[in-house]
Amino acid sequence: MAFLDRINFAFAAISMNKELGLTAATFGLAGTIMYTGYFAFEVPSNILLVKFGARRWISRIMITWGIASAATAAVSSPMGVYIVRFIVGVAEAGFLPGVLLYVTYWVPTKRRARATSLFMIAQPIAIGFGSLLSGLIMSHTDQTLGLSGWQWMFILEGVPAVILGLFALSYLPDGPRSAKWLTQVEKDSVIVALEAEPSGIPGKVGFAEFATLPFIMIGVANFALITGLNALATWSPLIIQEVVGKNAEFLKIGLLSAIPGVLAAIAMPLLAASSDRKSERAWHYGISAIIAVLGWLLVASSMSISGRVSGLVLATAFGFGSMPILWSIPAAILTPKARPIGLAILSAIGILGSVTSPSVVGVLRDITGSFNAGIYYAAALTALSAVLFVPVARSVAKAGTGKQS
């Protein structure tokens, strides 16, 4: 639902931009403003998660972002878009690092890539299912009760987040100790397995961990990766519309936009399982990133529907497939005490990619009249992420700090 409430903004652009007078640059700015709010409250949110507990804080995040996302339907000007998207970003801040931290409460490092992929698989599923759903809503609700299709889309896709947040409030335990479905023996076995793991960088404690070269390189790698993934989330419908024509039906664009997400949802857990099974991170990530770059280059070089969709499939499947592998490393270089802030800092650095990407791609699109310059930008940063991640993953494995990495 979190990612659907980002995908739908990209889909809304097909008709919302014209109704509200948004250019590609101003639409990109709206995306940047949302992620600015997200970035500003990322670290404070994770600190509050530790204070209030995962159940209450994750539920609060879901309920407030659902309300804010649905409220996007009420905007009537570019300024209104900027304000409400900033509020969405503030409301959702901390969700990703909060859940990643929550996973470390339950899952040993050797299984964490697979566990993380089961969470993050929701993102390509949202691209696939969300594209189709958004296309259907916009096609069949336009002018119902005087509202445009994009307005109904924000309402109908925002409300479920509120419902799920209320469900999580009554169901989600704060950790193994409070899980009602586990026996005491099972609780103890989980806790013992987690406490037995080596963690942290030898000789580094507290805030000094955030100044180490491996931590900084992983942070920049995450920024570079998220830049490319954000370009997919924000611009894929418009990139496809560029070759199918401006008068193409919403449903057709939705169906074509769904294909990369569906195939990415298949590839993502397979890559993570392979990485866990072989206890190898560096080359699983590096090769995946290279294939994603080739996908971007195919998108840029093709003006056919099949070529663009094929390129988006590669960029989406292997770009998103890289994410769980990247997130399997930070817990191995951070002590448990430093993880809440450390994971939030890494996520916030990644969010900077989402802050800059929409505006950069939008401005390049307006200047050049084509998405190609923005595509090359996303491809270059995806390649950079591999250059930074591979040596860190290899050094972590060599040092024995999380040998499964």
| pLDDT tens series, the chain, 405 aa | 888 877 788 778 778 888 888 887 788 788 788 888 888 888 888 889 888 988 899 999 999 999 999 999 999 888 998 999 999 989 998 888 888 888 888 888 778 778 888 888 888 788 777 777 887 888 888 888 988 888 999 999 999 999 999 999 988 998 898 888 899 999 999 888 888 766 555 555 556 778 889 899 999 999 999 988 888 777 777 788 877 766 666 667 777 877 888 888 888 888 888 988 888 889 999 999 999 999 999 988 888 888 888 999 899 889 988 988 998 888 788 877 788 888 888 888 888 887 788 778 878 888 888 788 888 999 999 999 999 999 999 888 877 644 443
In a domain, 405, yes or no: no
**From CA 364, how far away is CA 220, in angstroms rounded?**
23
Q: Which domain holds residue 348?
A: 4-399
CA neighbours closer than 13 Å in the CB half-sphere of residue 205: 1
Query: 112-115 long-range CB contacts below 8 Å, 24 or more apart?
Result: 112/276, 112/327, 112/328, 112/331, 113/272, 113/273, 113/275, 113/276, 113/281, 113/324, 113/325, 113/327, 113/328, 114/269, 114/272, 114/273, 114/276, 114/324
Q: What is the pLDDT at residue 204?
A: 53
Per DSSP (E only), the strands in 357-402 are none
Triad 336, 319, 97: Cα angle to 5°: 25
Q: φ and ψ at 173, to 5 degrees?
A: -80, 155
**From CA 342, how far away is CA 229, in angstroms rounded?**
22
At 128, which CATH number?
Answer: 1.20.1250.20
Paired residues of 144 in beta bridges: 147
In a domain, 404, yes or no: no
In a domain, 354, yes or no: yes
In a domain, 184, yes or no: yes
In a domain, 160, yes or no: yes
Q: What is the pLDDT at residue 129?
A: 78
Q: How many domains does the chain have?
A: 1
Q: In this structure, what token pair is assigned to residue 256? A: 């074509």
Paired residues of 27 in beta bridges: none
In a domain, 67, yes or no: yes
Triad 125, 126, 131: Cα angle to 5°: 110
What Rg do the C-alpha atoms of the chain give, in angstroms? 21
Residue 196, burial from CB neighbour count under 10 angstroms (0-12, 13-18, 19+): exposed
